[in-house]
């Protein structure tokens, strides 16, 4: 399942998507993220049928992603891989912007 966390406003769409079928709860994104966006939980709060551990976006961060992720997203053409995306070996994380 694709779990989308974030919001839209007049300036754009700011969502992080976690593919819960790919996430293995390794915690690498938690370690890599300088803004403490991710949290490993024991079961999926969005899917009562999924009792496997996985990562979610911390609820208090969901409405702040544009700003919290700002340091990782320099403007211009130089766009290195985001730390969270680079850390996730199963490629479970994507960003909408």
CB 71 within 8 A of CB 80: no
> Which of the ranges 6-14, 43-51, 89-97 carries the binding residues for ligand SF4, by CB under 6 A?
89-97
Q: How far is the CB of 94 from ligand SF4 (least distance, A)?
A: 10
Please answer whether residues 26 and 81 qualify as being in contact, where contact means their C-beta atoms are separated by less than 8 angstroms: no
Nearest to 73 by CA among 36, 38, 34, 40: 34
Is residue 23 close enough to count as binding ligand SF4 by CB under 6 A? yes
Report the nearest approach of ligand SF4 to the CB of residue 70 (Å). Answer: 8
Give me the numbers of helices (H) and strands (E) for the chain, helices first please: 3, 5
User: Counting contacts by CB under 6 A, is residue 56 touching ligand SF4?
Assistant: no
Q: Name which of 8 and 21 has its Cβ closer to ligand SF4.
A: 21
Does residue 3 interact with ligand SF4 by CB under 6 A? no
Give, rounded to a whole angstrom, the gap between the first and last alpha carbons of the chain.
Answer: 20
Chain-centre distance for alpha carbon 1: 14
Binding site for ligand SF4 (CB under 6 A): 18, 23-29, 32-35, 37, 40, 55, 68-69, 72, 82-84, 87-88, 90, 92-93
């Amino acid at each position: 399942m694709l779990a989308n966390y974030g919001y839209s406003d007049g300036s754009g769409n700011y969502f992080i998507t976690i593919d819960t079928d790919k996430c293995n709860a390794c915690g690498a994104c938690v370690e890599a993220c300088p803004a403490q966006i991710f949290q490993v939980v024991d079961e999926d709060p969005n899917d009562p049928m999924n009792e496997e551990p996985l990562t979610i976006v911390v609820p208090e961060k969901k409405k702040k992603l544009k700003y919290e992720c700002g340091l990782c997203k320099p403007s211009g053409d130089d766009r290195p891989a985001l730390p969270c995306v680079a850390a996730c070996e199963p490629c479970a994380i994507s960003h909408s912007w």
